[in-house]
């Protein structure tokens, strides 16, 4: 049996990601980076982006995971309903926010608290998390928990050894994907966000496309810096957590 | 009882916002319509590429073992965790040098970044669900690779094929920043026309754009559903007990 080949995809993706990063890096000097760390506009933009990304991620993962756990055994109609937002692109979801939230003072678009952006992300990401985790919940073996019950473990320990170990990595993975997306997305914040501080995706993109050429190295520097930070996070994530979950779920002696 | 209540709440929260999209007056924006050719052909080629690369890569990740393939898996999923839009600044300069900027193919290549990792993941899961023993059995039953795909693997992966097409369509439709940067406004996808409408004052024009954005994935999804259904019907008719050992 032919076992497939991962080389074309690996070369294509790594080539584009690596080369994009390499070109960005070659366009910057050390001065650009040191200027970034003291640039109040950039730092404020990072702050507000983190607030939006963290709140969107935490809420959508909590709700999505809870729904997936609740409907893992018998889904019925809920799966059909939750599939509907998957058909609507993010741009369309942003329009819904403009349509419904414009008349409300606190959650409307262009409000400082960015609630409209977070709500739009929730509408799109909760179904994503739900469908990402549904197969994981369906594969869970309830016999582990029964074993824990028989051995007289506490509720927390039962949950951890029966479910938590198998859920930890997929849940964190879903959270990471949603986090990276909401942190850097352009379309939704560009339509619903405030003019100052702009979210980081909008700020950088506008800097690159609308600013004069002297501001371009700044955009490249932000690109390199943020890619680097996320790459580090990813490394920590895969190095620390994956071995842990793999070791436990394969049942080796700790 | 509690289950039913949650289902009702979910249905309300999901479906109620969509009621605002029901058109009250029929408008027809020719500029949106003009972008459809590029949009549909882009999505068509992009989806085909995704299926092709996703299939062979997903198979490798599911059935190969060893260290190299695990590293490849990590490298392939990088665009899910990294800011693709920010990386495209550097790519754009490269595309200019290669003559791919402002070209259909340049946009196509860049659109692979946000779509392909998902595709590969879906195919990997589909192959893992089929399992190695099942694949080995199929080789014994049907030695011809083409026939094996037509009769067995393809129909068995129906749900994976459907999810991939849907995801690729929806992601590609939503990309405004990537397409305007790499395509330079020359490659006219529907998001480029829709986006300014949203920041404008006309809610009617924006609504029409949104309807397009929702109808396109639905249309593509149902066309594919009919095609796949037809495929399965043809397979059933062709097989028609041919491998049934009870019929001598």
Flag if A220 and B213 touch (Cβ within 8 Å).
no
Predicted confidence at residue B248, as pLDDT, reads 46
Nearest chain B alpha carbon to A235: B74
- Token couple for B177: 């920043």
Q: How many CB atoms lie within 10 A of CB B51?
A: 17
**Whether B47 contacts B168, CB under 8 Å:** yes
Q: How many CB atoms lie within 10 A of CB A165?
A: 18
Predicted confidence at residue B200, as pLDDT, reads 79
Pick the residue with more confidence: B170 or A110? B170
Of A86, A180, A183, the CB nearest to B166: A86
Q: Coil, strand or helix: which one is A71?
A: coil
Q: Say what angle helices A200-209 and B84-98 make with each other, to 10 degrees.
A: 20
Flag if B139 and A13 touch (Cβ within 8 Å).
no
Q: What is the 3-state secondary structure (H, E, C) of chain B?
A: CHHHHHHHHHHHHHHHHHHHHCCCCCCCCHHHHHCHHHHHHHHHHHHHHHHHHHHHHHHHHHHCCCHHHHHHHHHHCHHHHCCHHHHHHHHHHHHHHHCCCCCHHHHHHHHHHHHHHHHHHHHHHHHHHHCHHHHHHHHHHCCCHHHHHHHHHHHHCHHHHHHHHHHHHHHHHHCCHHHHHHCCCCCCCHHHHHHHHHHCCCHHHHHHHHHHHHHHHHHHHHHHHHHHHHHHHHHHHHHCCCCCCCCC
Q: B-chain residues within 8 Å CB-CB of A99?
A: 20, 203, 207
Q: Rounded to the nearest 5°, which phi and psi values hold at B222?
A: -75, -35
Closest by Cα among A77, A63, A74 to A124: A63
Q: B-chain residues within 8 Å CB-CB of A233?
A: 81
Q: How far apart are CA A131 and CA B41, in angstroms?
A: 28
Closest by Cα among B75, B169, B54 to B121: B54
DSSP A72: S
Peptide bond preceding A197: is omega within 30 degrees of 0, i.e. cis? yes
Predicted confidence at residue B167, as pLDDT, reads 95
- Token couple for A27: 């366009």
Tell me how close the Cα of A190 comes to any Cα of chain B, in angstroms.
9
Q: A-chain residues within 8 Å CB-CB of B17?
A: 96, 100, 123
Closest by Cα among B207, B212, B168 to B191: B212
Per-residue pLDDT for chain B (248 aa), expressed as one digit of tens each?
788 898 899 999 999 989 888 887 777 888 888 899 999 999 999 999 999 999 999 999 999 988 899 899 999 999 999 999 999 999 999 999 999 999 999 999 999 999 999 999 999 999 998 988 999 998 998 888 888 999 889 999 999 999 999 999 999 999 999 999 999 989 999 999 999 998 877 888 888 899 999 999 999 999 999 999 999 999 888 877 665 555 54
Closest by Cα among A88, A126, A249 to B170: A88
Tell me how close the Cα of B149 comes to any Cα of chain A, in angstroms.
12
Flag if A223 and B177 touch (Cβ within 8 Å).
no
Flag if A205 and B177 touch (Cβ within 8 Å).
yes
User: How many CA within 13 A on the CB side of residue A159?
Assistant: 4
Q: How far apart are CA B171 and CA A89, in angstroms?
A: 7
Report the residue of A86, A92, A139 to disrupt the B interface, i.e. the one with the largest count of B CBs within 10 Å.
Answer: A92
Predicted confidence at residue A210, as pLDDT, reads 85
Predicted confidence at residue B241, as pLDDT, reads 64
Q: A-chain residues within 8 Å CB-CB of B39?
A: none
Measured CA distances, A58 to A170, A181, B17, B33 (Å): 14, 13, 23, 39
pLDDT tens digits for B224-235? 999 999 999 998
Of B76, B194, B221, the CB nearest to A13: B76
Flag if A180 and B93 touch (Cβ within 8 Å).
no
Flag if B198 and A94 touch (Cβ within 8 Å).
yes
Predicted confidence at residue B245, as pLDDT, reads 56
Maximum alpha-carbon separation in chain A: 69
Average pLDDT over every residue of A201-214:
88
Nearest chain A alpha carbon to B175: A187
Flag if A13 and B117 touch (Cβ within 8 Å).
yes
Tell me how close the Cα of A40 comes to any Cα of chain B, in angstroms.
20
Residue A248, pLDDT > 70, answer: no
The number of helix segments (H) and strand segments (E) in chain A equals 12, 0
Q: B-chain residues within 8 Å CB-CB of A84?
A: 14-15, 18
**Whether B211 contacts B21, CB under 8 Å:** yes
Nearest chain B alpha carbon to A230: B82
pLDDT tens digits for A68-84? 999 888 767 888 899 99
Of B81, B171, B175, the CB nearest to A177: B81
Q: How far apart are CA B58 and CA B54, in angstroms?
A: 6
Residues making up chain A, counted from first to last: 254
**Whether A22 contacts B156, CB under 8 Å:** no
Q: Rounded to the nearest 5°, which phi and psi values hold at B213?
A: -65, -30
Flag if A180 and B80 touch (Cβ within 8 Å).
yes
Closest by Cα among A44, A37, A57 to A203: A44
DSSP A152: T
For the residues of A191-221, what is the DSSP string, one character each? HHS-SSSPPHHHHHHHHHHTS-GGGHHHHHH
Predicted confidence at residue A61, as pLDDT, reads 97
pLDDT cut 70: percent of chain A above it = 95
Flag if B53 and A12 touch (Cβ within 8 Å).
yes
Predicted confidence at residue A252, as pLDDT, reads 44
Q: A-chain residues within 8 Å CB-CB of B69?
A: 6
């Amino acid at each position: 049996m032919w076992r497939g080949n991962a080389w074309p995809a690996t070369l294509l993706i790594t080539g584009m990601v690596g080369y994009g990063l390499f070109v960005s890096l070659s366009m910057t000097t050390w001065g650009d980076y040191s200027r970034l760390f003291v640039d109040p506009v950039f730092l404020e933009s990072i702050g507000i982006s983190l607030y939006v990304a963290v709140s969107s991620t935490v809420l959508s993962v909590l709700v999505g995971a809870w729904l997936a756990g609740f409907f893992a055994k018998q889904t019925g109609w809920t799966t059909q309903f939750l599939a509907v937002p998957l058909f609507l692109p993010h741009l369309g979801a942003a329009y819904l926010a403009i349509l419904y939230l414009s008349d409300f003072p606190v959650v409307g678009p262009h409000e400082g608290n960015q609630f409209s952006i977070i709500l739009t992300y929730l509408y799109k990401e909760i179904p994503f998390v739900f469908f990402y985790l549904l197969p994981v919940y369906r594969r869970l073996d309830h016999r582990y928990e029964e074993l824990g019950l028989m051995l007289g473990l506490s509720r927390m320990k039962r949950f951890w050894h029966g479910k938590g170990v198998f859920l930890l990595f997929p849940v964190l993975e879903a959270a990471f994907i949603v986090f990276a997306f909401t942190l850097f997305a352009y379309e939704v914040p560009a339509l619903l966000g405030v003019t100052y501080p702009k979210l980081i995706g909008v700020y950088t993109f506008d800097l690159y496309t609308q600013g004069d050429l002297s501001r371009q190295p700044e955009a490249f520097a932000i690109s390199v810096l943020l890619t680097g930070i996320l790459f580090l996070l990813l490394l920590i994530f895969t190095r620390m957590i994956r071995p842990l979950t793999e070791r436990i779920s394969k049942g080796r002696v700790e | 009882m509690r289950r039913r209540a949650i289902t009702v709440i979910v249905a309300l929260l999901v479906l109620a916002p969509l009621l605002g999209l029901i058109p009250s007056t029929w408008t027809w924006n020719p500029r949106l319509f003009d972008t459809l050719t590029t949009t549909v052909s882009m999505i068509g080629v992009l989806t085909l590429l995704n299926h092709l690369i996703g299939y062979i890569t997903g198979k490798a990740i599911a059935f190969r073992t060893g260290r190299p393939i695990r590293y490849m898996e990590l490298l392939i999923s990088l665009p899910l965790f990294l800011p693709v839009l920010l990386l495209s600044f550097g790519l754009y300069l490269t595309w200019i040098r290669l003559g791919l900027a402002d070209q259909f193919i340049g946009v196509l290549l860049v659109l692979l970044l946000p779509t392909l990792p998902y595709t590969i993941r879906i195919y990997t899961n589909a192959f893992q669900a089929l399992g190695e023993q099942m694949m080995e059995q199929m080789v014994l039953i049907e030695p011809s690779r083409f026939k094996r795909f037509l009769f067995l693997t393809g129909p068995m992966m129906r749900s994976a094929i459907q999810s991939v097409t849907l995801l690729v369509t929806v992601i590609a439709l939503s990309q405004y920043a990537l397409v305007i940067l790499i395509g330079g406004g020359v490659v006219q996808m529907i998001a480029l026309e829709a986006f300014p409408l949203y920041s404008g004052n006309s809610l009617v024009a924006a609504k029409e754009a949104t309807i397009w954005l929702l109808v396109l994935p639905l249309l593509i999804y149902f066309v594919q559903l009919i095609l796949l259904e037809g495929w399965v019907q043809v397979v059933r008719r062709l097989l028609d007990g041919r491998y049934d050992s009870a019929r001598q």
